């Protein structure tokens, strides 16, 4: 991550200029040409080492399409209100009126796929979600996100952040 994305210069008087760092929105956007993305959660507490998760983008898109718009017995997919203000860099995913959905997926090497018609309690935990939009009945893939904090059993908590 770059420390200074953009530099905004503001003249405060004839003799001084104020420089302010402005985050670069592109840092947090999904690179649609990427074959994989990496999720970087924090450990839930200092005693657990949490690995970074790699996710195959084609698989994430495929799982989102397979999930569809209607929830199964697991309750997934379900609405994602984007209170985290994630910026996907895709118009139909970033607009305020977007109908976003999230669906659990597993990282590469974790094995298996989330089963929407099996209860969550009967499946292995995963902090990773594929995000997609229902745009007037049309499917638009937005990206992959993870919970900010993850425990040793892959239970996620807290806000979401993009996997890039």
**Cα–Cα dist 29/46, whole Å:** 29
Q: pLDDT at position 2, please?
A: 34
Q: Catalytic residue at 29?
A: no
Query: Choosing from 63, 87, 147, 154, which is the catalytic residue?
Result: 147
Instruction: Give me the residues paired with residue 131 across strands.
Output: 102, 143
| Phi, psi dihedral angles at 116 (to 5 degrees) | -65, -25
Query: Choosing from 32, 51, 52, 78, which is the catalytic residue?
Result: 78
Cβ within 8 Å of residue 71, ≥6 positions away: 77, 78, 116
How much is the CA Rg of the chain, to the nearest whole Å?
Answer: 18
> For the residues of 146-162, what is the DSSP string, one character each?
EEEEE-TT--EEEEEEE
Q: pLDDT by residue (tens digit) across 21-55?
A: 333 444 445 555 679 999 999 998 766 677 799 99
Domain definitions of the chain by residue range? 1-29, 31-162
Q: Catalytic residue at 159?
A: no
Q: pLDDT at position 50, please?
A: 74
Q: Catalytic residue at 155?
A: no
Mean pLDDT of the chain: 85
CATH topology of domain 31-162: Nuclear Transport Factor 2; Chain: A, (3.10.450)
Q: pLDDT by residue (tens digit) across 91-124?
A: 999 999 999 999 999 999 887 999 999 999 999 9
**Cα–Cα dist 6/27, whole Å:** 11
């Amino acid at each position: 991550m770059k420390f200074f994305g953009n530099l905004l210069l503001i003249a405060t008087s004839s003799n001084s200029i104020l420089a302010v760092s402005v985050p670069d929105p592109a840092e947090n956007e999904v690179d649609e040409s990427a074959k994989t993305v990496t999720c970087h959660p924090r450990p839930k507490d200092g005693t657990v080492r949490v690995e970074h998760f790699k996710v195959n983008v084609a698989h994430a898109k495929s799982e989102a399409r397979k999930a569809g718009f209607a929830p199964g017995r697991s309750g997934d997919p379900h609405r994602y209100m984007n209170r985290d203000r994630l910026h996907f860099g895709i118009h139909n995913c970033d607009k305020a009126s977007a109908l976003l959905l999230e669906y659990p997926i597993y990282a590469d090497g974790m094995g298996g796929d989330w089963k929407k018609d099996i209860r969550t309690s009967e499946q292995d935990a995963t902090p990773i979600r594929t995000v997609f939009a229902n745009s007037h009945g049309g499917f638009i893939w937005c990206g992959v996100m993870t919970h900010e904090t993850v425990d040793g059993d892959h239970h996620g908590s807290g806000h979401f952040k993009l996997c890039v």
